[in-house]
Amino acid sequence: MLDLTYSGGTVGRLIADAVTRFSDRPALADDHVRWTYSQLGDVIGRLLTLYRQLGLKPGDGICMVTGNRVEAWAATCASNVMGLRHTHLHPMSVEDDHAHILQDSQATTLIVDSRKFAGLGQRLKARLPQVQRLLSLGQVEGATDILARIEGLEAAPLVCPCDPEDTMLLTYTGGTTGKSKGIDMPHRAIVTMSSIIAAEWEWPQNLRYMAMTPISHSAGVKIYPVMSRGGYTRLVDGFDVESFCQIVAEEGISATFLVPTMLNAMLQRPKIVENYDLSSLGLIIYGAAPMAPDQMRRAIESFGPVFLQLYGQSEAPECITTMRVADHDLARPDRLASCGRATMLCEVTLLDTGLNEVPDGTPGELCVRGPLVMNGYWGLPELTEEVFRGGWLHTGDVAWRDSDGYYYIVDRTKDMIISGGFNIYPREVEDTLAAHPAVDMAAVIGVPDAKWGEAVTAFVVLRDGKRITPEELMAHVKAERGGPWAPKTIHFLDELPLTGLGKLDRKSLRKPYWEGRARDI
């Protein structure tokens, strides 16, 4: 007999409770639609009815590629309540990446946004026999328009049949082989994340949250804790300074999430910012990319003491540590380089290569354990065992801790670049560059950049007799991989530096750019 003693701690339950408790409050809006919690719950319930009519059942895999629109969030919530294994496809990635993720995740259903991704959905359905159902938000030829189909359907009860350890989210991140790897995220981890964020972050009393970065990523998972507090979420499909300021002023937005690239854009356009009343903005969450302490100081001077920094990774989302609003003290400028203290429910330590804890002030690999952590990498048991060695999740980040318990990221054991809030893996760009007929070898690193946090920078050795401009290679990467992966700078070299073992020596490439400074998170 199934033991239900510890059931209930699921994301589906969080959603259902929010709908019940806050039924008349405003829940969700975009440029076209506004819903209360009750209206959101009704749409979720009708989507549940449709999903079952279409033959979906708990545990099935479903992928989605959409813009920031309310119907996309409702479809995500319906997946969560029903117990589907949900995967968001990166809206700025390329078709080959989407195809790999669809295949690896074993998804049989694909949902696309008719406004942006109709053609992509049709091509993926044609090339992948495993995709049994192409669903769409709006009319798309050859797809089932789920918005039209739910009209007149009876809403099913929002009852989640899942165990807290069931996979709720299968999210993909880059890998050393150049192929994305799936992260098996159970309901338990997202409920833990939501609980920590709801309890520890200094949310304004009148919580009106705006998401301008893709809800497929960090901006989206923050909607769960906002819902748990009965807050309102305003979805915006893309960022520019003036529209940000206008929506904050017109709708009384009190909280938002911005990557440092966006904050830098705001700081560079003070005349636009000064034209709007932003006094309602009581919390600006930032993270997902490095931000220099001097930039943070200027941001505080411009917007006031409203900043909160998150530190996490896909394997332990959003809140391994938090640098709270109260921690951003201009009288302690050294502390602005910190990523904060460990959050409740997260045990954090710094380990050396022998898995021994290092003393305060000494760099070590930042490791975490607790209910926030993933189950493992999807279908990759050896990699899972490696990342959990010694009973800790190894983040790949090197940090030191001061005597007050604040952590400071100083380097990465992994080579990942964080540019404009996106995770860029050098091998992905290197392989794309090397695929060009003019390129013999390529190496890619991230270098400090005031706008992007880190700028993707490539070093290229051309084949004998070949000629090509940096701009042509940048356009090649953009076409093959997507805009965030395109190098901002390309240097042509006669040869690449190698280690004594014949491996690419990225450390020597980074040294001129990073020597004498920490990689601030």
Q: Distance (Å, rounded) from C-alpha 358 to C-alpha 365?
A: 9
Predicted pLDDT of residue 337 = 87
Predicted pLDDT of residue 500 = 45
Predicted pLDDT of residue 410 = 76
Burial of 345 (0-12, 13-18, 19+ CB in 10 A): middle
Q: In what order do the strands lie in the sheet with 439-449?
A: 439-449, 453-462, 489-492
pLDDT tens-digit readout, 75-91: 999 999 999 999 999 88
Q: Distance (Å, rounded) from C-alpha 131 to C-alpha 51?
A: 15
The verdict on residue 183 lying in a domain is yes
pLDDT value at 519 more than 70? no
Q: Distance (Å, rounded) from C-alpha 182 to C-alpha 375?
A: 11
Give the number of domains in the chain. Answer: 3
Q: What CATH number does residue 423 fall under?
A: 3.30.300.30
Q: State mean pLDDT over 348-371.
A: 96
Predicted pLDDT of residue 89 = 94
Q: State mean pLDDT over 160-180.
A: 82
Cβ–Cβ < 8 Å for 401, 428: no
**255 or 426: which leads in pLDDT:** 255
The verdict on residue 375 lying in a domain is yes
**502 or 14: which leads in pLDDT:** 14
pTM to 2 decimal places: 0.84
Tell whether 246 and 363 lie within a shared domain: yes
**Last residue within a domain, chosen from 381, 412, 443:** 412
Q: Please give the radius of gyration of the chain, using alpha carbons only, rounded to the nearest integer.
A: 23
**Phi, psi (deg, nearest 5) at residue 378:** -60, 115
Tell whether 399 and 433 lie within a shared domain: no
Cβ–Cβ < 8 Å for 306, 278: no
pLDDT value at 462 more than 90? yes
Confidence of residue 380 (pLDDT cuts 50, 70, 90): very high
What's the mean per-residue pLDDT of the chain? 91
Tell whether 256 and 303 lie within a shared domain: yes
pLDDT value at 520 more than 70? no
Predicted pLDDT of residue 501 = 40
Tell me the β-bridge partners of 364. Answer: 399
pLDDT tens-digit readout, 92-102: 888 999 999 99
The verdict on residue 208 lying in a domain is no
Structural domain range at position 473: 418-514
Cβ–Cβ < 8 Å for 348, 320: yes
Predicted pLDDT of residue 356 = 97
Tell whether 144 and 20 lie within a shared domain: yes
pLDDT tens-digit readout, 282-298: 999 998 665 677 788 88
The verdict on residue 217 lying in a domain is no
Secondary structure class of 246 (helix, strand, coil): helix
The verdict on residue 305 lying in a domain is yes
- Residue found under tokens 């070898």: 441
**472 or 435: which leads in pLDDT:** 472
Angle at 144 between CA 143 and CA 148, to 5 degrees: 135
Tell whether 399 and 478 lie within a shared domain: no
Confidence of residue 44 (pLDDT cuts 50, 70, 90): very high
Secondary structure class of 193 (helix, strand, coil): helix
Q: Distance (Å, rounded) from C-alpha 49 to C-alpha 290?
A: 44
pLDDT tens-digit readout, 110-138: 999 999 999 999 999 999 999 999 999 99
Tell whether 184 and 255 lie within a shared domain: no
Tell whether 385 and 449 lie within a shared domain: no
Cβ–Cβ < 8 Å for 366, 399: yes
Tell whether 440 and 382 lie within a shared domain: no
Give the amino acid at 147: L
**Last residue within a domain, chosen from 365, 381, 412:** 412
**Last residue within a domain, chosen from 162, 189, 216:** 189
Tell whether 116 and 58 lie within a shared domain: yes
| Range of lowest pLDDT (38-42, 443-447, 470-474) | 443-447
Tell me the β-bridge partners of 348. Answer: 368
Tell me the β-bridge partners of 111. Answer: 64, 135
Q: What CATH number does residue 185 fall under?
A: 3.40.50.980
Residues 6+ positions from 119 with CB-CB distance below 8 Å: none
Q: Distance (Å, rounded) from C-alpha 92 to C-alpha 71?
A: 19
Predicted pLDDT of residue 464 = 84
| Range of lowest pLDDT (36-45, 264-273, 453-462) | 264-273
Q: Distance (Å, rounded) from C-alpha 68 to C-alpha 212?
A: 8
pLDDT value at 412 more than 70? no
pLDDT tens-digit readout, 503-513: 577 878 988 88
The verdict on residue 330 lying in a domain is yes
* Helical axes 70-82 vs 37-53, angle rounded to 10°: 60
Cβ–Cβ < 8 Å for 271, 246: no
The verdict on residue 320 lying in a domain is yes
Q: What CATH number does residue 375 fall under?
A: 3.40.50.12780
Tell whether 382 and 505 lie within a shared domain: no
Cβ–Cβ < 8 Å for 398, 209: no
Tell whether 108 and 71 lie within a shared domain: yes
The verdict on residue 449 lying in a domain is yes
Predicted pLDDT of residue 138 = 97
Secondary structure class of 431 (helix, strand, coil): helix
Tell whether 405 and 450 lie within a shared domain: no
Secondary structure class of 394 (helix, strand, coil): strand
| Range of lowest pLDDT (219-223, 263-267, 390-394) | 263-267
